[in-house]
Amino acid sequence: SALFWPCQVRLVMKAHSFIRENVPRVLASVKDKPGTVHIPRISQYLYFLFAPTLIYRDNYPRNPTIRWGYVATKFAQVLGSLFYAYYIFVRLCIPQFRHSSQETFNLRGLVLCIFNSILPGVLILFLVFFAFLHCWLNAFAEMLRFADRMFYK
């Protein structure tokens, strides 16, 4: 479940943005014209859930076409990042802790295991962030024809 908390935080932030944008609009339309209430369509909400943005709008700028080669490249980069993270984990992290359960506990061994795992852990963290935040979100942005690609600004 520790791997899913970023997704849960993202969904909570998206739900907050959706509610924050729509509740004042619905309340204003109820106050002005009680018979007509503007409620967003389910398709708009679903698009927002998959779009790489945290700010809800009824419409987003869209590209006219999908570049499937770009999508395939991004998904290949995700797979490559995951395989490389697995390789780092197997070659650099697991050997550090392989015999720790059979040895008696000592502080020196614990500190050495932790310090020897810092660099591989940071590399895996960078790979996961690259795979998700850059490759995965860009692939979904392309498939959804999401035109606003200012992710890093």
Residue with tokens 């997704």: 7
Can you read off the two tokens belonging to residue 108? 């020196």
Locate all alpha helices (DSSP H) within the chain, ordered by sequence. 5-32, 42-50, 68-88, 94-97, 107-129, 137-143
**pLDDT in the model for residue 132:** 87
**pLDDT in the model for residue 1:** 47
The strand pairing partners of 62, in sequence order, are 146
Per-residue pLDDT of the chain (153 residues; tens, 9 = 90+): 455 666 788 889 999 999 999 888 888 877 777 667 778 889 998 989 888 888 898 888 888 999 999 999 999 999 999 999 999 989 988 887 777 777 787 888 788 888 888 999 899 999 989 998 889 888 988 999 988 766 555
Query: Among 142, 24, 149, which residue's Cα sits nearest to residue 72?
Result: 142
Cα–Cα distance between 144 and 47 in angstroms, integer? 8
